[in-house]
Chains A and B, each alone.
Chain A
Amino acid sequence: MNSRLKKIIVIAEYSDDRPAQVTLELITCAREIRKIANADIQAVVMGVRPESAAQILSLTGTDVVSIEIDVEKEQYPLFQRRILESAMEELKPDIIIAAHTSMGMDFLPGLAVSMGASCITGVKKITVESGQFVFVRSVWNGKFDAMIRSEKAVTAVSVPPGSFKPADGRAAKKGTVSLWKNSDIAEDRRIRIESVEKKGASSDSSLDDADVIVSAGRGIGKEENLEVLREFAGLLRKSAVAGSRPLIDCGWLPYRRQVGVTGKTVSPKIYIACGVSGSSQHIAGMAGSETIIAVNTDPGAAIFNISDFCVIEDVVPFMEALVKLISTSESQGC
């Protein structure tokens, strides 16, 4: 693929009649590409009542295709993918940009297969080198960045939320909105969405209110080692203990204490990451913290890239020494 491309399609997500924040970020991503290559941008909004979201999205100055699907088809995700596939046949994109979300990751790889497109997921930056696009993505739990070149004519990319600034919804010139109806697509009912439920536990506010969050990662090794972190947190004002996804998956901490894309987004005064490797999923949930301190045995751990202070030590012995030192210096002070 060379950089003189013709069309970029952004696949929108929306809820409550408004485009999702990440969709506005994808528009910015598409515009960054347009800065380095001549291109048309179109967004596709698909759903039962897509028009309001499509109108709002067009205020960013983007041309939007609004595809309305029948209510009874809403619960069949495979059916919706077929509709999207047929829309792509018509729109003939060179680059498809979707969000790296549960929705985007559901349809994008399959869509790429059916289109014979290259599929590059988790793209956080796009540049050009010698006339070719370079897609930058995190690998190895965020430890390295890989610079990738597509080997197909069409490239489908997924972009994680937070990778680009959202596009402004007050463009000088509104984009056009084309209204499409889903046409005669063969039905596919092999997957049916029965219900959508919200896990109640996520409403815990203890992490929102904390000034200091002591966060545990897999590096702590075993559940018992959470104790020293709890002890440490007990020595700090307005503190809470949280954890990264793998730790919650192990059942060591409840779901409501999870920091990251699939958990909570926090921005305390101080975030202390203990044995956290720093995957992009985790970093997205804590990057806004005022001061970030990390303790990790691996000097190459990705968490250090976002830290203000780095302690390269085996986390458990270090935290034990730290707790001991604070406790003894306190008693001396009395």
Chain B
Amino acid sequence: MKILVCIKQVPEHTSAVAVHASGDRVEIPESTKYRINRFDEFAVEAAAQIKESVSGTIVDVVTVGPKSAETVIRRAMGMGADHGMIVDDGFTDNLTPDVISEILARVARRSDYDLVFTGIMSEDEMNAQTGQMLAAGLDIPSAVGVVEISRIGSDGDIQVIRERENGVRERLSISTPAVLTIQGGINRPRYPALSAILRANAKNIDIISDITPAMTDKGNDRSVLRIAPSAKIRRGKILEGSVLQKAEKLITILKERNVLI
């Protein structure tokens, strides 16, 4: 079985992320450390677990982004991925899912993948589109919000559970090749062992430079006019002072509402 996991890097912390002076994008400080998008980490773990249970499984991991995304690719390799790829470009950082998914489709077509995993969405852009669009581009089925991979059949069929609303879950049979977008909570992503990290660090990462957005015939399907801090819905009185003073003020609020025992 051959699995491709598509991952994205996101800033480790978002407190320093601010609106750029241009007003149409965010500014991420140079010093920012990146990690694997939370949902993609679940996807990498899901693939690593299949590799452990189905012999002969190969797991490739890919990201569309700058060469510095090597850090998250190596992390995924430390978790169990065999090969890492970065589609680097020097292109602008605001490609929309229709373009990203087309680039990923071109990567996927170079190999016979039985399964392609993505996280259900990225924590920064929150589009939740790339996996489904990738499946549409490859003309293969996709399951969205997978919380369990129950069975990998030798007949090319897999069985998964996907999450609907209000605790409802749907059991699906899917013929491979297929795309699964992985929901959080499907597993407990491992912390890579030191030996695995060292092994991953010794491996090469393929830098793919012959797939570019220009080849995809697709422009961004939208553009960002402005970015702004999200609107205040409530007045949000800020409690001022030292830690102790703030705690005292909070106690007063709780007392006024008669909830302290």
Contact = CB atoms under 8 A, between A and B. Distances in A.
Interface string B124-142: 1111110011011100111
Interface stretch (A42-50, A58-66, A170-178, A317-325): A317-325
Interface on chain B toward A: helix, strand, loop, or mixed SS? mixed
A150 B224 CA distance: 9
A298 B14 contact: yes
Contact of B133 (A102, A109, A212): A109
Contacts of B159: 194
Size bracket of the A interface: 35 or more
B17 A306 contact: no
A134 B223 CA distance: 10
Interface stretch (B56-64, B197-205, B251-259): B251-259
Given A142-B230, A236-B259, A114 B136 contact: yes
A106 B136 CA distance: 11
B168 A262 contact: no
Interface in B9-58: 13-15, 17-19, 26, 38, 42
A192 B172 contact: yes
B84 interface: no
Contacts of B93: none
Contact of A193 (B123, B170, B259): B170
Interface in A143-159: 143-152
A198 B233 CA distance: 34
Given A105-B144, A106-B144, A325-B244, A269 B259 contact: yes
Contacts of A287: 233
A191 B174 contact: yes
Contact of A197 (B137, B143, B145, B169): B169
Most buried by A among B220, B232, B250, B258: B250
A255 B172 contact: no
A105 B132 contact: yes
A209 interface: no
Given A110-B142, A144-B227, A305 B234 contact: yes
B126 A329 contact: no
Contacts of B17: 140, 143
B224 A146 contact: yes
Interface string A203-241: 000000001100000000000000000000001111100
Contacts of B15: 297-301
Which interface residue of A106, A198, A211 has the most chain B CB atoms within 10 A? A106
Given A113-B136, A262-B165, A308 B236 contact: yes
A196 B141 CA distance: 19
Given A139-B126, A196-B168, A250-B188, 8 more contacts: A105-B128, A110-B133, A148-B223, A152-B222, A191-B172, A304-B232, A311-B239, A318-B243
Interface of A: 78, 101-103, 105-106, 108-110, 112-114, 117-122, 129, 134-135, 137-152, 190-202, 211-212, 235-239, 245-246, 248-251, 255, 261-262, 269-270, 277, 287, 291-293, 297-302, 304-313, 317-318, 321-322, 325-326, 329
